[in-house]
Structure 1
Amino acid sequence: MVILTMGNFILKEVNRVKNIQWLFLIYAVLAVVSMIGIGFSIAFQSIPFIFLFTLLVILIMGIGFQTKKKMREAGKL
């Protein structure tokens, strides 16, 4: 679909924002913060925190994927 005017483009973008899944946004932000934590842990050469943040990334992303699967099966997505 080609958008001919800037006004239509803006309206289409606003419609996309209305359908935001806040729970998944929270999971994504937490995962990114944990990945940043891995970077800081590597910079400070802290092995325990590297493992901690790596575990947090795996857990948060796993919970996010499980939640998405359950919502898809329930017909909420």
Structure 2
Amino acid sequence: MNQVKWPLLIYAILAAVCIMGIGVAIAEKSLIGVFISIVAGIIVIGLGFKTKKRMRKEGKL
């Protein structure tokens, strides 16, 4: 039976929120909001890949 990998799920949800934030910022015509959402998205996705690599190395995946 598959177990939920909670850290990866949280990173995926945060990445989706960042992508939604880009859309909201565009709708609000906020250039700063778009920039912040893009930077946050890059950071969250990067941390997610880093965590996945570490979990794979430790044999948790």
- Assess same fold via TM > 0.5: yes
Using structure 2 for the length normalisation, give the TM-score.
0.93
Percent identical across equivalent pairs?
A: 44
Q: Which has the higher contact order (CA 8 A, sep 6+)?
A: 2
Q: Figure out how many residues of one structure are paired with residues of the other and give that number.
A: 61
Shift of 1:74: 1.2
Runs of 4+ in 1 over 6 A off after TM superposition: none
Q: Secondary structure at the match of 1:38?
A: helix
Unaligned regions of 5+ residues in structure 2, if any? none
Give 1:75 deviation, angstroms: 1.1
Deviation string, structure 1 residues 12-69 (Cα, Å, up to 9, x no partner): xxx44xx111111110111101110000000111000100000011000000000000
Bigger CA radius of gyration:
1
TM-score (norm 1): 0.75
